[in-house]
Amino acid sequence: MRTLVATALINAKGNEVYCAARKVTNENIKRIRNNSRQQLESIGFTFVNLISLDYPNIKGYAVFYEGHLDDMEKSLKLLP
């Protein structure tokens, strides 16, 4: 099962702006933001690039977890 965790768009200053799924807590989003993509991928996260056919300068990605949200929370607690 693949669960959508959040989407992130890159703003004009190059910062990532996250929009979390409804059941994902702010604490979990904070842990996701504070860890590298490699660390997150090693515990079951997948990142999918987003594109816009109407606006070519839009940059962003969707964050998925390969499992249920309760499993994601357990995995995130293992990270530093």
Tens digits of residue pLDDT in 40-68: 999 999 999 998 899 888 899 999 999 99
Burial 21-47 (b: 16+ CB within 10 A, else e): beebeeebbebbeebeeeebeebbbee
Asked whether the predicted pLDDT for residue 73 surpasses 80, the reply is yes
This prediction has a pTM of 0.88
Asked whether the predicted pLDDT for residue 80 surpasses 80, the reply is no
CA–CA dist 68, 79 (Å, integer): 17
